[in-house]
Homo-oligomer: A and B are copies of this chain.
Amino acid sequence: MKDGIERMTKTNAGRFFEDYTIGQVIEHAVPRTVGQGERALYHALYPARHALYSSDAFAQSCGLAASPLDDLAAFHVVFGKTVPDVSLNARANLGYAEGRWLKPVWPGDTLRSTSEVIGLKQNSNGKTGVVWVRTRGYNQKDECVLDYVRWVMVKKRDLEAKAPETVVPDLKSALDVSDLVIPEGLDFTNYDFTLAGEPHRWGDYEVGEVIDHVDGVTVEEAEHMMATRLWQNTSKVHFDGTQREDGKRLIYGGHVISMARTLSFNGLANAQMIAGLNAGAHANPCFSGDTIRAWTEVLDKAETGAPGVGALRLRLVATKSGEAGQLKGEDGKYLPGVLLDLDYWALIPV
């Protein structure tokens, strides 16, 4: 090269399909301490209003020591760490399953992540393959705070590399309520509906009901990049505007998840905590200038053993156009205005 300087490759090129083996456990860098700063930023970046994450006093009235880090912020931090090892060479983020929030993340906790390879399937084109990983987030006491399965389509480095034995993991289409872990001490018997913002309790929601969350947020480049960096997600497409003619950057799917979930406050203010992630699809890409709206369909209801705590299984849909309740076309494909289809379990006072 010019100047006669030797240039070395010390940068991370990411893993390719043939770099994964069943049973392999990848320890992800970089551990991260979270606290009040992340809480404030979550409130600045999203219209977050769920009282349990907004007020220490409210969280204490629900039996917790303090307001934990927002469940999705915890998810993003754990997820972000996996990007350099799992999705740098991914062509597509195909799905999520069996996500469980196992312990609240408290201010001052330090999170790290690992991913175990639980499935591999080379595609018939021989150029890519699907990798299933079970990712686990741990706090500084090595307690698992969150785990979920994610699968991505990854490029092969060497098209001649031999296909691995196909292993497709047996995943639940949805968690059973008995799979959910209710945070220790959680008690909704003295729940203050006035402070929480809405009177609707578990019994007021019916399976099949659709809630239009009404509000919209037009998203900006600076906001989604700040959010995505905050979770130390390093995927180039979110930051580098030179990759597209219009200079726009592909918005991290998790930004859409958090925007939709926080918009869902209006109609689901009491669906305080996320306890399980059953499935999720990023149906269409989101760009700066899009106005995100959200609607929810109630998929299931269940009681939990915790005092005053019920569970709702909810389909949360984010859109950039289209009407509430409209998800797929006659061809069975997501409508072009649908950004996200997320299936999760929330905890709500009975």
Name A residues whose Cβ lies closer than 8 Å to a Cβ of B. Answer: 1-3, 5-8, 10-12, 27, 29-33, 35-41, 43-51, 54-58, 67, 84, 108, 110, 112, 140, 194-198, 200, 204, 206, 208-218, 220-223, 225-227, 229-230, 232, 234, 236, 239-242, 247, 249, 266-269, 289, 291, 297, 323-326
| A30: B residues at CB distance < 8 A | 49-51, 54-55, 58, 195-197, 269
Asked whether B226 lies within 8 Å of A45 as measured between CB atoms, the reply is yes
Asked whether B208 lies within 8 Å of A5 as measured between CB atoms, the reply is yes
| A240: B residues at CB distance < 8 A | 215-218, 291
**Contacts A37-B36, A40-B37, A110-B55 given; does A195 touch B7 at CB 8 Å:** no
Instruction: Identify A220's interface contact among B27, B48, B55, B221, CB under 8 A.
Output: B221
* Measured CA separation A58–B29 after assembly (Å): 11
Residue of B nearest to A248 (CB): B218
Asked whether B214 lies within 8 Å of A44 as measured between CB atoms, the reply is no
Residue of B nearest to A204 (CB): B10
**Contacts A47-B239, A197-B29, A239-B217 given; does A8 touch B40 at CB 8 Å:** no
| A220: B residues at CB distance < 8 A | 220-222, 225
Copies of this chain: 3
* Measured CA separation A46–B228 after assembly (Å): 10
**Contacts A47-B232, A242-B218 given; does A56 touch B33 at CB 8 Å:** yes
Asked whether A12 lies within 8 Å of B112 as measured between CB atoms, the reply is no
Instruction: Identify A31's interface contact among B10, B51, B239, CB under 8 A.
Output: B51
| A49: B residues at CB distance < 8 A | 29-30, 232, 234
Interface residue SS majority, chain A: mixed
Asked whether B38 lies within 8 Å of A55 as measured between CB atoms, the reply is no
| A206: B residues at CB distance < 8 A | 6, 8
**Contacts A110-B55, A209-B8 given; does A269 touch B29 at CB 8 Å:** yes
Closest 8 CB pairs of A and B: A37-B40, A29-B197, A218-B241, A31-B55, A222-B222, A216-B240, A220-B222, A10-B267
Residue of B nearest to A39 (CB): B37
* Measured CA separation A44–B76 after assembly (Å): 13
| A234: B residues at CB distance < 8 A | 47, 49, 215, 266
Q: List 25 A-B contacts (CB under 8 A).
A: A5-B209, A7-B210, A8-B209, A8-B211, A10-B268, A12-B266, A31-B58, A32-B54, A35-B36, A37-B40, A38-B40, A40-B41, A43-B230, A43-B232, A44-B226, A48-B232, A55-B112, A57-B110, A57-B140, A58-B110, A84-B197, A215-B240, A222-B222, A223-B225, A247-B289
* Measured CA separation A210–B11 after assembly (Å): 11
Residue of B nearest to A216 (CB): B240
A251 CB, nearest partner CB in chain B, Å? 13
Asked whether A54 lies within 8 Å of B33 as measured between CB atoms, the reply is yes
| A32: B residues at CB distance < 8 A | 54-55
Asked whether B110 lies within 8 Å of A56 as measured between CB atoms, the reply is yes
Instruction: Identify A33's interface contact among B41, B57, B236, CB under 8 A.
Output: B57
Instruction: Identify A5's interface contact among B210, B223, B227, B241, CB under 8 A.
Output: B210
| A326: B residues at CB distance < 8 A | 2-3
* Measured CA separation A326–B32 after assembly (Å): 35
Asked whether A325 lies within 8 Å of B3 as measured between CB atoms, the reply is yes
Residue of B nearest to A221 (CB): B220
15 further interface pairs, Cβ-Cβ under 8 Å (given A2-B325, A31-B55, A217-B240): A2-B326, A12-B197, A30-B51, A33-B67, A35-B37, A36-B37, A37-B38, A38-B40, A44-B230, A48-B229, A49-B232, A55-B110, A56-B110, A215-B240, A220-B222
